Amino acid sequence: MKIVSDLDLTPYNSYRIPAICKRAFFPESEAEIQQIFQEYPETKKIIIGSGHNIIFSRDRYEDDFIIFSGNFEKVVCEDDKISAESGVSMLDLSNIALSYSLSGLELFYDIPSSLGGAIVMNAGASGEDIQSLLLTVRYYDPQADVFKEVERKGLDFEYRNSFFQQNPHLIITHAFLQLRHGDKQEIGDKMENNKKLRWAKQPKEFPNAGSVFKRPKGHFVGVMMEEMGLKGYTIGGARISEKHGGFIVNFDNATGKDILEIITLVKKRVLETYSLDIEVEQRII
């Protein structure tokens, strides 16, 4: 298992915010995950996957990071089912499904997330989400020092929420998904179309971490930002995207503090204007 001291976390978060952690582990098996907690119990552990949907609030962490990026990404296909480790990216998983002519993951092509991260936040778009494809999820509970496998119905999925968000100490290791056989050309065309639509609407040209806020019932965040005149609003190197007001981008060496200050301002303005306490979708670390 790779262990790195004073790791530069800049490449491990999609905002490209500079930060350093005291020590980082890159496990490649369940046994190594367990080993981390057994051999290094004294330090708080922070779990990250592909580094999307997170905001670093500090420039240095005296915590241990357990990172699932470029590791823990084995995938096995059997008929119309997939068993996958949590570190695999949704991009790679979608492409693997395509290679087996399996449909169901087209929506997640080009969604920036690891499988584990997608499950934690119940990622999705256009009324669909990851939980609808899940059969079971396997995870490690470091407090009890046990691995458990739970069916979808036991994981309390809601819009951009799950059992794992309520229990952040749990570590997803594997997921088992039910897909369906389809036409390879049609699946590939749908994937490419989804990608084109995202690139047309989202600020892919700048580092960002996707939608900053959960969509409040009856409203669209991007529309609210436009109505309040906040598109393009800037603090330091961070800016509310002019392309899509639901995104904050790092256009000029932004810090986590810059991004969090914009979030604070947006929450205040939305409360004043719409009487809504808008919820942050991204995980602040």
pLDDT of residue 223: 95
What does the alpha-carbon distance between residue 219 and residue 253 come to, in Å, rounded to a whole number?
Answer: 31
From residue 204, give the alpha-carbon distance in Å to each of 118, 210, 243: 19, 9, 10
Q: What is the pLDDT of residues 204-231, one digit of tens each?
A: 999 999 999 999 999 999 999 999 999 9
Q: Could you tell me which of 92, 15, 86 has the C-alpha nearest to residue 48?
A: 86
* Cβ neighbours around 184 below 10 Å, total: 14
CB half-sphere exposure, 167, CA atoms < 13 A: 15
Indicate if 78 belongs to the active site.
no
Spatial contact of 141 and 170, defined as CB atoms under 8 Å apart: yes
pLDDT band at 124 (very low <50, low <70, confident <90, very high): confident
How sure is the predictor about 195, in pLDDT bands with cuts at 50, 70 and 90? very high
- Bridge-based pairing of strands 248-250 and 171-178 is unpaired
pLDDT at residue number 255:
97
Structure-block tokens of residue 121: 């936040």
Are 37 and 47 spatial neighbours (Cβ–Cβ below 8 Å)?
Answer: no
Distances (CA, A) of 280 to 175, 214, 248, 266: 26, 6, 12, 10
Instruction: Please provide the average confidence, as pLDDT, over all residues in the chain.
Output: 95
According to DSSP, the residues that pair with 137 across neighbouring strands are 150, 175
Q: Are strands 180-181 and 102-103 parallel, antiparallel or unpaired?
A: antiparallel
Active site residue 215: no
Does the annotation count 211 as an active-site position?
A: yes
In this predicted structure, what is the pLDDT of residue 158? 87
The more confidently predicted of residues 110 and 43 is 43
Domains and CATH numbers, the chain: 2-67 (3.30.43.10), 75-201 (3.30.465.10), 221-284 (3.90.78.10)
Say what the pLDDT of residue 136 is: 98
What is the per-residue pLDDT for 159? 84
pLDDT, tens digit (0-9, with 9 covering 90-100), for 12-35: 999 999 999 999 999 999 999 999
- What per-residue confidence (pLDDT) applies to 126? 75
| Tens-place pLDDT, residues 46-103 | 999 999 999 999 999 999 999 998 889 999 999 999 999 999 999 999 999 999 999 9
Per the residue annotation, which of 94, 160, 162, 239 is the catalytic one?
Answer: 160
> Rounded CA gap, 177 and 180, in Å?
10
- The 10s digit of each residue's pLDDT in 135-154 is 999 999 999 999 999 999 99
| 23, 211, 239, 241: the active-site residue | 211
